[in-house]
Amino acid sequence: RLLLENARQLVLVCGRGERYLRRDGAAGLAVLRGASLVVGLDGCIKAVGQADVIRSQFSEATFERIIDCSGKCVLPGLVDAHTHPVWAGDRVHEFAMKLAGASYMEIHQAGGGIHFTVEHTRKATEEELFSTFKHRLERMLRAGSTLVECKSGYGLNLETELKMLRVIERAKRSMDIGISSTYCGAHSVPKGKTATEATDDIINNHLPKLKELKLSGEIHVDNIDVFCEKGVFDLESTRRILQAGKDIGLQINFHGDELHPMKSAELGAELGAQAISHLEEVSDEGITAMARAKCAAVLLPTTAYMLRLKQPQARKMLEEGVIVALGSDFNPNAYCFSMPMVMHLACVNMKMSMNEALAAATINAAYALGKSDTHGSLEVGKQGDLVIINSSRWEHLIYQFGGHEALINYVIIKGKVIYQNEMCETMSSY
């Protein structure tokens, strides 16, 4: 179906069926030179290797498309492990408040933040939400993301949460980009309820409805998320919701230890969470517990950057053997679509190496979503999701801060060219 020929560099990320890379594994990132890759009609990778070997192996084959990758680099499609892309009503006015010194929680308590977005999202029609969501996904795609985790969480009542999940389901079925959907009804305590009342509502009403819709095939949710935070959902409420979600077959993947140390990491490790996000305030014990439980840490450098929080301890986590993944945290508070920019921030602000950042935005981000057996690296049998950049070295994708628009030449999903950037043919990416 598709042949990519003679790439200057072909970045496998990993080549021995690893489900994730820890620090030592990311150091030896696998890069082939003068290499080709074949994707079959089923959308999966059939062969990866030296150009002349592939040419003779497939000398009889016919291809729908051949892309000459001379002088270019081929990388796995990027995976964004944490986003909130379905909402109405932007919060550009709050950005000004933050710049003037207001904290996240001060804005939240004044009825801004999540509550502001909830108000607008409740009023929006499903059609309006789908239309803006689709445009956001297209922008993520053009920045190289081929698999994105998408959360609900701006409804906080059953009706709006379901509206958001239906919008995500519709995109899953109608768009090429890969989506892992997350129910995040415990994103904030709705006005007029206590945390305990909200928790009971989620366990007694929301989750049974999700189970019913899953059985009827209407909505398929992959993950359950809770904002475990002081003044939002405490540890006990978080435990109850996550356990109830796990009981109906959802993967645990939640917000923890962001603004205050909550022992979220310890809880996640104990419950068998697939991933925990944020972790700016994680304890040393939490880091050890996550490493032992193979629970991925989804770090969000844009959030720490925009809210001027202390940076997550990426180095300590890597040294302790935690599986570190990255996400954009795209939402009205952190408006960033670009995983290349996220990787750059991870390197500069969180002191990750470029190899570690790429592993965190591919194989490890796929692992955080429970999808690293099919996504996140260029290996035979995996889905043919790729990014081709117009550069002689793959590192330019991270090195050029905000430069992905002139660098990314093609984005390919399941062997199909979804985005081709003509600009790359006419202008130098240097």
Q: pLDDT tens digits for 45-57? A: 999 999 999 999 9
> Comparing C-alpha atoms, which of 227, 245, 398, 232 is closest to residue 303?
227
CA 327 to chain centre: 5
Distance CA 53, CA 67 (A): 17
CB atoms within 10 A of CB 42: 11
Q: pLDDT tens digits for 183-199? A: 999 999 999 999 999 99
What's residue 27's pLDDT? 75
What's residue 430's pLDDT? 63
Give the pLDDT band of residue 429 (cuts 50, 70, 90).
low
Distance CA 52, CA 6 (A): 9
pTM: 0.97
Burial of 425 (0-12, 13-18, 19+ CB in 10 A): exposed
> Comparing C-alpha atoms, which of 368, 356, 376 is closest to residue 82?
368
- How large is the average pLDDT for residues 132-141? 98
Q: pLDDT tens digits for 264-298? A: 999 999 999 999 999 999 999 999 999 999 999 99
Q: Where are the domains of the chain?
A: 2-21+28-76+377-420, 79-369
Second CATH level (architecture) for the domain 79-369: Alpha-Beta Barrel (3.20)
What class has domain 2-21+28-76+377-420?
mainly beta
